[in-house]
């Protein structure tokens, strides 16, 4: 298992058995994903499939380009697919290229507003973008059911930890789609080489990896976490969840690797720059797991049996790696040893070393 990226600017993790390689989420541009895979000693062409947890931008940004480039299937739930297709499909009154151009312009406007200091105080990216989305809807008829379905947050990335500065990775992903659309203007931008639907709670296999998706509480169409089993090894991924429900905590038992969200420090979030509405959303039961909530699970709900615990989806604005680490270490206390509960922190800007079991 290699965490290629984790955080509100993009998420992607590689899970590999001796014969099968799966990318869980593709929230970086295709180019960056490939770069990081190669840096981690993995060959992108050897990927068998992409699995998607939910349709927020920080999880799907590079999904389509990567799937098309490698000609590999995308596994997701039908509601997640529908939400993504709605987000990707412009109405007839505006071309897809024009819509992308608008998105690029929005990013530029944001940058300029920030540069001149007239940034909405602490405005969070998702909120700003959804406001623009509403203008677009009224003025140009962009189809934005995704925005409606997902509430004010729209299809923006998970809001916790969204940085106020321009997101180079998002820009790169958009540029990539524009370049691709210029080469093949006739192709439906929401096309994928092949789509495989799964349902939460129903296990399936990809090669020799058994996959069990489970529902997580998060403000997306049909968000899931995953358990992977192969070669006698069990790996669980649970990020982007507002709290730890019992159905999730049951799935996290008997794991060899547990990747768990430790998104924010509650005090940093409370005292930080986000508008109150966003703070409420992050703290809500469909937001993100705080350091305290992750620690509470590690102390009381977790069986202590994993060789590795990976803290993930840390907010850049509302958390510090050391705070997340201290909370988890305190919770795990005497259960940490050379063989068990080795604590790792996933990073936004670079892959962490492969976990090999
Ligand atoms: Zn999310
Ligand atoms: Zn996320």
Question: 280 CB contacts (<8 Å, ≥6 apart)?
Answer: none
> Angle, nearest 10°, between helix axes 96-115 and 125-140?
130
Closest-CA residue to 161 (of 326, 287, 53): 287
Distance 38 CA to ligand 2 centre (A): 23
Ligand nearest to the CA of 25: 2
CA 328 / ligand 1 centre spacing (Å) = 22
Tokens of 76: 């997701």
Rounded to whole angstroms, how far apart are CA atoms 90 and 218? 26
Closest listed ligand to the CA of 12: 2
Residue 157 alpha carbon to ligand 1 centre in Å: 6
Q: What is the pLDDT along the chain (357 residues), one digit of tens a residue?
A: 999 999 999 999 999 999 999 999 999 999 999 999 999 999 999 999 999 999 999 999 999 999 999 999 999 999 999 999 998 876 556 677 777 887 787 777 766 655 433 333 333 333 333 333 323 332 223 333 333 333 333 445 565 444 444 578 888 998 998 898 889 888 888 999 999 999 999 999 999 999 999 999 999 999 999 999 999 999 999 999 999 999 999 999 999 999 999 999 999 999 998 899 999 999 999 999 999 999 999 999 999 999 999 999 999 999 999 999 999 999 999 898 888 999 999 999 999 999 999
DSSP assignment of 171-215 equals HHHHHHHHHHHHH-TTS-TT--S-EEE--TT--EEETTEEEEEEE
Ligand 1 centroid from CA 17, angstroms: 27
CA 80 to centroid of ligand 1, rounded, Å: 12
pLDDT at position 25: 98
Q: How far is the CA of 317 from the centre of ligand 1 (A)?
A: 16
Neighbours of 224 (CB within 10 A): 25
Please tell me the distance between residue 110's alpha carbon and the centre of ligand 2 in angstroms: 21
Question: Of 71, 69, 86, 100, whose CA–CA distance to 175 is shortest?
Answer: 100
Per DSSP, the three-state class of 112 is helix
Question: How many A from CA of 337 to the centre of ligand 1?
Answer: 32
Please give the distance, rounded to the nearest whole angstrom, from the Cα atom of residue 339 to the centre of ligand 1. Answer: 32
179: exposed, middle or buried (Cβ count in 10 Å: 0-12, 13-18, 19+): exposed
Tell me the two tokens of residue 93. Answer: 């009154």
Q: Are 10 and 28 in contact (CB under 8 A)?
A: yes
d(CA 310, CA 205): 24
Candidates 224, 270, 275, 281; CA nearest to 247 is 224
Query: How many whole angstroms from 170 Cα to the centroid of ligand 1?
Result: 15
Cα(52) to ligand 2 centroid in Å equals 11
Ligand 1 centroid – CA 313 distance (Å):
10
Q: Which ligand is nearest to the CA of 10?
A: 2
Question: CA 30: distance to chain centroid?
Answer: 15
- pLDDT at site 120: 32
Q: Edge-to-edge strands of the sheet including 195-197?
A: 2-5, 12-16, 21-24, 49-51, 74-76, 195-197
pLDDT for 20: 98
Distance CA 146, CA 265 (A): 29
Contact at 8 Å (CB) between 73 and 67?
yes
pLDDT of residue 105: 78
Ligand 2 centroid distance, CA of 56 (Å)? 7
Ligand showing the shortest atom-to-Cα distance for residue 55:
1
């Amino acid at each position: 298992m290699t965490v290629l990226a984790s955080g509100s600017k993009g998420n992607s993790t590689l899970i590999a058995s001796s014969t099968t390689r799966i990318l869980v989420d593709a929230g970086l541009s295709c180019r960056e994903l490939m770069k990081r895979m190669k840096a981690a000693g993995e060959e992108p062409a050897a990927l068998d499939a992409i699995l998607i947890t939910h349709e927020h931008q920080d999880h799907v940004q590079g999904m389509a380009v990567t799937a098309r480039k490698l000609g590999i299937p995308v596994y997701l739930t039908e509601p997640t697919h529908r939400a993504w297709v709605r987000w990707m499909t412009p109405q007839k009154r505006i071309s897809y290229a024009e819509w992308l151009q608008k998105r690029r312009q929005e990013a530029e406007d944001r940058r300029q507003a920030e540069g001149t200091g007239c940034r909405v105080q602490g405005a969070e990216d998702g909120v700003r973008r959804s406001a623009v989305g509403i203008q677009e809807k009224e003025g140009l008829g962009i189809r934005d059911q995704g925005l409606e379905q997902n509430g004010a947050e729209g299809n923006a990335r998970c809001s916790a930890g969204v940085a106020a500065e321009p997101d180079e990775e998002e820009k790169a992903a958009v540029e990539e789609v524009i370049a691709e659309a210029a080469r093949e203007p006739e192709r439906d931008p929401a096309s994928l080489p092949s789509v495989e639907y799964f349902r939460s709670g129903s296990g399936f296999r990809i090669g020799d990896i058994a996959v069990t998706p489970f529902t997580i509480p998060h403000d997306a169409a049909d968000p899931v976490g995953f358990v992977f089993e192969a070669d006698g090894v069990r790996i669980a991924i649970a990020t982007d969840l507002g709290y730890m429900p019992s159905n999730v905590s049951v799935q996290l038992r008997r794991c060899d690797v547990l990747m768990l969200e430790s998104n924010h420090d509650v005090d940093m979030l409370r005292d930080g720059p986000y508008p109150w509405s966003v703070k409420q959303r992050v703290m809500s039961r469909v937001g993100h797991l705080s350091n305290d909530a992750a620690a509470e699970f590690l102390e009381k709900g977790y069986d202590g049996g994993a060789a590795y615990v990976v803290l993930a989806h840390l907010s850049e604005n509302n958390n510090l790696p050391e705070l997340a680490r201290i909370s988890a270490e305190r919770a795990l206390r005497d259960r940490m040893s050379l063989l068990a509960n080795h604590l790792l922190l996933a990073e936004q800007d670079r892959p962490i070393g492969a976990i090999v079991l």
